[in-house]
Structure 1
């Protein structure tokens, strides 16, 4: 457990390299099995909800997400997924694409030539504005900073718990970190419930809003039942947490990787000039920005949103033809699979296109940036479009000169840069 807590990705890579593709081990009281082959990861993703259950990762995570679709099981999960999924379908992504670009434009216009910026902070500001405007219909004014600070406290508490002994503490144990988390969640809940009440009152007057919150409130299941206020809160906060921090982290790593690969950045400049010709990108440009999308995909391969997939075996579970004892926690790591030299050439710089897997090797899903299978990420399309458009908007106007050497990630719920990433803004001619 101490080795896992110190550096989980490195620990899992060592399990693979020293003991093989299928390794039994113990994490505290948990009987565990670590799997590396891509075909086993694909099999596990396909079998969830049938012979594997999602592992609830800690008390802190549940305080944020509640009983949202991400944590639901069985009939409850199927009902909530059917209610939430229409809110993030492609048509809704198209509706909100202009908001993504506008938030990136406003941020870029604030950057002064030759000024230094905190890359992660700026990307977080953009994606927070995107999620607040698309989820709640506005930027919440004075509450924006307070809510952003509260979410940062909550996410840190989840990351700390994942790496420490508190992962195994009972819910009634109140550590200082847990007390801070409860205060942050109270701030989030108060504002979200206020917005829900205000939106319910507005809907009675038929104000015609088309944000995600309005769609959650309007959703009805097969029996005509709406989501309760608590269920709407859980889904809204989960969409907020997942849609904000994951995309801003991916964009931060993308800028870091581009700074280390001038030839890749040069080809990005050429594509933006050819496709956009000086104008802002739109959703209709998304498919034409092929190099931009490959940069996003390669960033997600190297620094995936979900770097670890845990699941708990039920009776009758099996992977690769091998029976898995019920109650065993099965772990798969995108970090490990995506950096396995058997599936990808070691070294190099992005974008190593998805087709450049090692010839003759396993053709399965070597790139798993978000959760796949039946429980695949509902917001994956939204996040991919947002990342590409938000990257393209400042990239056509600025270079971010980053003087950073090799950087190991700081491991938490996400893989964040271990130190602040600062850049000097250089305007493109």
Structure 2
């Protein structure tokens, strides 16, 4: 069997379309569509017709049109089985209701109240590290952000539940990535496969753990205890009719917030340390800023605004390794994009990975250059060319939480240690988020100038 030639896009296989190339390396596939076929490229995932758009203005228009002339894509059984019908998956009036209930829990004023937990957990980790030790950076960052996520989402008395939740989430991450890139994406929900069995087992663990925590919160609330965590805010939330989130909705939103508060930030921090290890000038500028602004003390929420280079390190890391590496939506009747009609039922995709690595918007796109984000940078970044958290009405609710957490963790750990990866450099695995494809190992060094008092 040989792929046939189709006008206006890449060659595709009968029945499979472009699935083999997409499954083999979806990130390289998106870049090849952009480079070899242009900014508006039709392609096929099995029998499904898709279009990849690569211009920032098209990406921004697509993101802004979801819930009007476009609707969110159905991303398969595994995705829905994990996230249920939470705010990421829900559509229409159901989505608007859930967003209104969840959004107040992650507004900047609430994120301020979680900053102390972020700093406390990072400081405890730094206290366990020893100069000269060799660490698995991703494992350390995952453990740290798990503790932060569990404490901010479920409260300090939920500590100790990180291990089963983490193991189950890691399994779910692998199986979701495998299903999305394989033929099982097209199988009906009732078809059993080994991967779906593992996904069911992992989700059962998550359901059990979250149910236990919800019961504890309900008992504490009945006893008159006041709590200041995300789950307590979700339990207290009421819609315009005075109705609360149902038990299933609490479960779905807890999973969604956990992924947003843990998965995305742990990988962002892992990539940041690897990138800083290979960029001594950027690392030196980070050390200088932390010394000058913090002077050896622990950061607070208010310091976030006073650490512009630290924020730029995070922003540039999210450009090079965006946690959300693809976004898609389905056209409805009358949909247009860039003034061009889009046939109803067509899935329109855009990829933060390929847009972020387009030399038209980011010269030398493979290079890690936080100075791109200087206020006086010689080449301003076009609007919508950077969108690691999506955009439009369905932009990630936890973006502020993730940005503040990443910057404060870098500030705490970066004052006391430099993570030296040497010549080792992990590649990427596109799962639910963009993960390292192998352990990221580093040696703990003291920053130039000796130990910092924190």
Report the CA distance between 1:108 and its aligned residue. 1.2
Task: Give 3-state SS (helix, strand or coil) of 1:423's partner.
Answer: strand
Q: Please give the per-residue CA displacement for 1:307-328, whole angstroms capped at 9, x wherever unaligned.
A: 1111100001100000000000
- Give the Cα separation in 2 of the matches to 1:423 and 1:377: 31
* 1:53/1:311 contact within 8 Å kept: yes
* 1:129/1:139 contact within 8 Å kept: no
* 2:320/2:368 contact within 8 Å kept: no
- The structure-2 alpha-carbon separation of the partners of 1:323 and 1:88, relative to structure 1 and needing over 3 Å to count, comes to same
User: Match of 2:337?
Assistant: 319
Q: 2:248 aligns with which of 226, 230, 241?
A: 230
Report the CA distance between 1:200 and its aligned residue. 1.2
- Gaps (5+ residues) in structure 2? 1-18
1:91 has 2:106 as partner: no
User: Match of 1:129?
Assistant: 147
- The structure-2 alpha-carbon separation of the partners of 1:264 and 1:315, relative to structure 1 and needing over 3 Å to count, comes to same
- Give the Cα separation in 2 of the matches to 1:61 and 1:261: 36
1:158 has 2:179 as partner: no
Q: 1:376 aligns with which of 382, 395, 418?
A: 395
- Give the Cα separation in 2 of the matches to 1:161 and 1:363: 34
- Give the Cα separation in 2 of the matches to 1:277 and 1:245: 31
User: Match of 1:349?
Assistant: 368
Task: Give 3-state SS (helix, strand or coil) of 1:396's partner.
Answer: helix
User: Match of 1:412?
Assistant: 431
* 1:344/1:358 contact within 8 Å kept: no
- Give the Cα separation in 2 of the matches to 1:352 and 1:370: 21
User: Match of 2:385?
Assistant: 366
User: Match of 1:388?
Assistant: 407
Q: Please give the per-residue CA displacement for 1:132-168, whole angstroms capped at 9, x wherever unaligned.
A: 0000002634432112111111111111112111111
User: Match of 2:34?
Assistant: 16
1:402 has 2:421 as partner: yes
* 1:134/1:212 contact within 8 Å kept: yes
* 1:337/1:366 contact within 8 Å kept: yes
User: Match of 2:296?
Assistant: 278
Q: 1:310 aligns with which of 325, 328, 348?
A: 328
Task: Give 3-state SS (helix, strand or coil) of 2:442's partner.
Answer: strand
Q: Please give the per-residue CA displacement for 1:55-113, whole angstroms capped at 9, x wherever unaligned.
A: 12111111111010111111000000000000001111000000001111111111122
User: Match of 1:290?
Assistant: 308
- Give the Cα separation in 2 of the matches to 1:182 and 1:52: 31
Give TM-score, length-normalised by structure 2.
0.92
1:340 has 2:358 as partner: yes
* 2:316/2:368 contact within 8 Å kept: no
* 2:147/2:159 contact within 8 Å kept: no
1:191 has 2:209 as partner: yes
- Give the Cα separation in 1 of the matches to 2:378 and 2:416: 38
* 1:344/1:356 contact within 8 Å kept: no
* 2:31/2:354 contact within 8 Å kept: yes
- Give the Cα separation in 1 of the matches to 2:376 and 2:337: 23
Report the CA distance between 1:206 and its aligned residue. 1.7
Q: 2:93 aligns with which of 68, 75, 90?
A: 75
Task: Give 3-state SS (helix, strand or coil) of 1:353's partner.
Answer: helix
User: Match of 2:135?
Assistant: 117
Report the CA distance between 1:363 and its aligned residue. 3.0
1:34 has 2:52 as partner: yes
- Give the Cα separation in 2 of the matches to 1:194 and 1:227: 17
* 1:158/1:413 contact within 8 Å kept: yes
Give TM-score, length-normalised by structure 1.
0.97
- Give the Cα separation in 2 of the matches to 1:386 and 1:92: 13
Q: Please give the per-residue CA displacement for 1:340-372, whole angstroms capped at 9, x wherever unaligned.
A: 111110153321423699978883221111111
- Give the Cα separation in 1 of the matches to 2:385 and 2:241: 40
- Gaps (5+ residues) in structure 1? none
- Give the Cα separation in 2 of the matches to 1:405 and 1:139: 38
Q: Please give the per-residue CA displacement for 1:116-141, whole angstroms capped at 9, x wherever unaligned.
A: 10000000011000000000002634
User: Match of 1:425?
Assistant: 444
Q: 2:220 aligns with which of 202, 209, 213?
A: 202
User: Match of 2:13?
Assistant: none
In the TM superposition, structure 1's runs of 4+ consecutive aligned residues that sit over 6 Å from their partners are: 356-362
Provide the aligned C-alpha RMSD in A: 1.6
User: Match of 2:261?
Assistant: 243
* 1:40/1:320 contact within 8 Å kept: yes
